[in-house]
Structure 1
Amino acid sequence: MLTKTSVTGVLLTLFLFFKFGSSIFCYDCNSAFDPRCGERFDPFSLGVVNCSLKDPPEHIEPVEPTFCRIIKMEIYGNVRIVRQCGYLKEESEEHTCRKQTGNGEVFVTYCTCDTDLCNGAPKIHKNMALILAVSLIYYSQNIL
């Protein structure tokens, strides 16, 4: 027999672990404007974007975003991190990181991934979602 608690738990689990349609959700921020987006990433109250609802950049043809991206730029000792939706993959890109160097003191690292909110701190977010789901199920069982 299904109880209200078990139905709530199943729905919460489905919500947390399955993607919504074909869209991907990514963090969308720039450490130049928000320090929480930087190397000490703090997702609390940062923008999460449903990438399928966001317009692609003007310099590319309209295309559905299918991945998240983190770009870390180190320019003359200053670090900037940009987290955003990804629209065009390079053929050799397989959800990994790629490093490029410029003229001496310019270093750029591009990382891509294809799961919701993966351009944050992935292990922490997945563990927190699991802890939240278990806590809510436990809490709802104790109330009823």
Structure 2
Amino acid sequence: MRFLVVFVCLFAVSAALNCYICNSLAQPDCTTNYQSFNKICPVKSFAGLKAVKPVGCRVTRQYVNEETSIVRECAYTGEDVDKKSNKGSLGVSRVYSQCSEALCNSANSSFHFLTAAILVAVYKIFA
């Protein structure tokens, strides 16, 4: 019975991906109080593709002259990267990170608490 409960929980976690979704220009809390922007990533259709599932979460810090903004979103393409720089037009630069675990686009994206919590719970049940 325990195995069935663990399997269902792990399936539910893997079936839906949650990310923080916000933009600090429209939502100032996106910078430091982003926890309230925890949302399930929707399946999207774009670029001629239908029903594209999210592959991860992304956080982008954009610097335009003297202004800084942060965008937290679901990622539908790409691979895991950490602090990759991307230069735009004059005076514009971006640094982004992408990760494949739930809620990994937080301020401290290098520690994935949810993944660790699930592993500890599974260990406790079967140990």
TM-score by length of 1: 0.61
SS at match of 1:84: strand
Whole-angstrom CA distance in 2 between matches of 1:57 and 1:80: 26
Gaps of 5+ in 2: 118-127
One-letter amino acid of the structure 1 residue matched with residue 113 of structure 2: K
What's the CA shift for 1:18?
A: 8.3
Q: Which has the higher strand share?
A: 2
> Residue 69 of structure 1 contacts residue 119 of structure 1 at CA under 8 Å; is this kept in 2?
yes
Map of 2:68 onto structure 1: 79
Q: CA RMSD in A?
A: 3.1
Map of 1:101 onto structure 2: 87
What's the CA shift for 1:123?
A: 6.3
> Residue 23 of structure 1 contacts residue 66 of structure 1 at CA under 8 Å; is this kept in 2?
no
What's the CA shift for 1:119?
A: 0.3
Task: Report sequence identity in percent.
Answer: 26
| Larger Rg, first or second structure (1 or 2) | 1
Map of 2:15 onto structure 1: 22
What's the CA shift for 1:58?
A: 4.2
Residue of 40, 49, 52 corresponding to 1:61: 49
TM-score by length of 2: 0.68
What's the CA shift for 1:94?
A: 3.4
Change (3 A) 1:60 1:49: farther
Whole-angstrom CA distance in 1 between matches of 2:61 and 2:48: 22
